[in-house]
Amino acid sequence: MDSIGDKPVRVRFAPSPTGYLHVGGARTALYNFLVARKAKLNGDEKASFILRIEDTDAERNRPEWTEGIISSLKWLGIDWDEGPYFQSQRSDLYAKAADFLFNSGNAYWCSCTREDVDSRTKGSATPGYDRYCRERGVAKSQNSVLRFKVPLNGSTTVNDLVRGAVNVENKNIEDFVIQKSDGSPLFVLANVVDDIDLSINLVIRGEEHLPNTFKMALIFDALRALYSNSEATDSPTYAHLPLLVNEKRQKLSKRRDRVAVEDFKEQGFLPQAMINYLALLGWGPGDDREFMSLDELTELFELEKVNKAPAFFDEKKLRHFNGVYIRNLSDEVFSELSMPFFDKAGLRFDLEKWKIMVSVVKERVETLDDVPKMVDFLFLESVEIDENSKAKVLNQEKSAEILFLARESFGKATWDTDVLKNQMLAICEKLDLKLGKAQAPVRLAITGRLIGPPLFEALVALGRDATIRRLTSALEWFK
């Protein structure tokens, strides 16, 4: 999608600030961003990605959500060419459109209460509003809402780049509300008015909005005369992105699943890994390539290749991606990025010890949050020993001998990874044990756990005194 007809591509991300930026929203933002970037790359210099905050619902919106959404987008590296526009500052436009729709006979005032409608439609096969006020000439009042007068005949078709042509009979669309009794616009109205006003020609958004799109197409047609001298007389092209689901194939939900981009940031996911993974939720380059930089994504992304089928948001796979991206960082950058996670863990951090561990830890973590957990034993006065692991070690043959010999030889060895390893190999030979087996009691004594970073680097970082002290207290287990 390099241009729309002969017009520059204009796409937008239009979040409602009712919560954190959700991974589904982030994918929508990313696809819009990629489309605009790719169009620019292909010579459409004026291609624009617009950010619009749909904050008309004063009860559900909060400024801190808007700030959170904006900072999450920035963190991901998704930036926009225009905006943010705020719908809360554009109410005149919606009021003008609502007046126009009323004056042109495309909308009418309705004074029915919900109870009125319910009592009339109970048991009826067609749910929703029964068009009761459609021809009653109800006057505008404090209690009336403005409804769109949906044509009773014909059908409305939406041409969707992902789903093809989708059609609905107009008689199945209710006369929906476009303006509340307090004069504020409904989402469908404000959304269309802004898409027209901002000359949006390609709407890329989540599949949950597909049913709204028929209503929007009707509003769009009815508003065309109001905007007849503007550029936006053709309705936009649509692309509705597939649903994101969890491992049980349930729609991803913020109550059940971890979905906030901000949470992933706090857990130590890297933005470049997130972007790469989000791009693959419903799209792929058509070969087995999975790891792509933003520039590669820009080059390869094609809206026409987006799937219809729900996309599984697989946190395990995201973790794997993140691990790969972490391993690709330089030791310096990895170390720098780990610092806030040490702060958060509240450890008495020691840079000299950490420097010894940086490269081996980088190879073994999937998130930055894993980092302090892997090396916490270096920064603690004494370690807490995991009870299950201790039971295993106590049951293991020759554990006491291993600890005893290790303390003896480590007491006088040169403090160096190779030397310590050789000492350990000598113990193995003496006790007729494999290295892995012999390391277990030592690792537990030193780190409190049976799994962790390579042992000899850990010993070197910890230092001789602390090592001997921990081996000595482990020997107490056997008394």
Query: Which of 4, 10, 15, 235 lies at the binding interface for ligand GLU (CB under 6 A)?
Result: 15
**CA separation for the pair 368, 310 (Å, rounded):** 30
Determine the size of the site formed for ligand GLU (CB under 6 A). Answer: 8
CB of 203 to ligand GLU, least distance (A): 6
Of 54, 238, 224, residue with least CA distance to 161: 238
DSSP 238-300: EEEEPPEE-TTSPBP-TTTS--BHHHHHHTT--HHHHHHHHHTSS---SSS-----HHHHHHH
By CB under 6 A, tell whether 54 contacts ligand GLU. yes
Query: Which of 9, 14, 244, 356 lies at the binding interface for ligand GLU (CB under 6 A)?
Result: 14
Q: Which is closer to ligand GLU, CB of 193 or CB of 280?
A: 193
CB of 198 to ligand GLU, least distance (A): 12
Of 203, 187, 208, residue with least CA distance to 252: 208
Residues 192-221 that bind ligand GLU (CB under 6 A): 203, 205, 209
Q: Which is closer to ligand GLU, CB of 54 or CB of 257?
A: 54
For residue 239, the cross-strand partners are 204
CB of 194 to ligand GLU, least distance (A): 9
Q: Three-class SS string for 451-468?
A: CCCCHHHHHHHHCHHHHH
CB of 301 to ligand GLU, least distance (A): 18
Q: Could you tell me if 177 and 146 are in contact, meaning their C-beta atoms sit under 8 angstroms apart?
A: yes
DSSP code of 87?
Answer: G
- In the sheet where 107-110 sits, what is the strand order? 107-110, 145-148, 177-179
Helix-helix angle 315-327:271-279, to 10 degrees: 130
CB of 14 to ligand GLU, least distance (A): 4
By CB under 6 A, tell whether 449 contacts ligand GLU. no
How many residues in total does the chain contain?
479
By CB under 6 A, tell whether 22 contacts ligand GLU. no
DSSP code of 151?
Answer: -
Q: Which is closer to ligand GLU, CB of 67 or CB of 397?
A: 67
CB of 92 to ligand GLU, least distance (A): 20
Q: Which is closer to ligand GLU, CB of 15 or CB of 185?
A: 15
CB of 34 to ligand GLU, least distance (A): 16
By CB under 6 A, tell whether 191 contacts ligand GLU. yes
Q: Which is closer to ligand GLU, CB of 60 or CB of 171?
A: 60
Question: Which residue numbers are catalytic?
Answer: 254
- Over its C-alpha atoms, the chain yields an Rg (Å, rounded) of 31
Q: Which is closer to ligand GLU, CB of 184 or CB of 272?
A: 184
**CA separation for the pair 220, 234 (Å, rounded):** 9
Give the residue closest to ligand GLU by C-beta. Answer: 205
The tokens 């909308």 sit on which residue? 107
Of 204, 109, 99, 93, residue with least CA distance to 147: 109
Of 108, 105, 114, 99, residue with least CA distance to 137: 108
Q: Which is closer to ligand GLU, CB of 168 or CB of 413?
A: 168
Q: Which segment (10-18, 95-103, 290-298, 303-311) binds ligand GLU by CB under 6 A? A: 10-18
Query: Would strands 202-206 and 237-241 be described as parallel, antiparallel, or unpaired?
Result: parallel
By CB under 6 A, tell whether 240 contacts ligand GLU. no
By CB under 6 A, tell whether 16 contacts ligand GLU. yes
Residues that bind ligand GLU (CB under 6 A): 14-16, 54, 191, 203, 205, 209
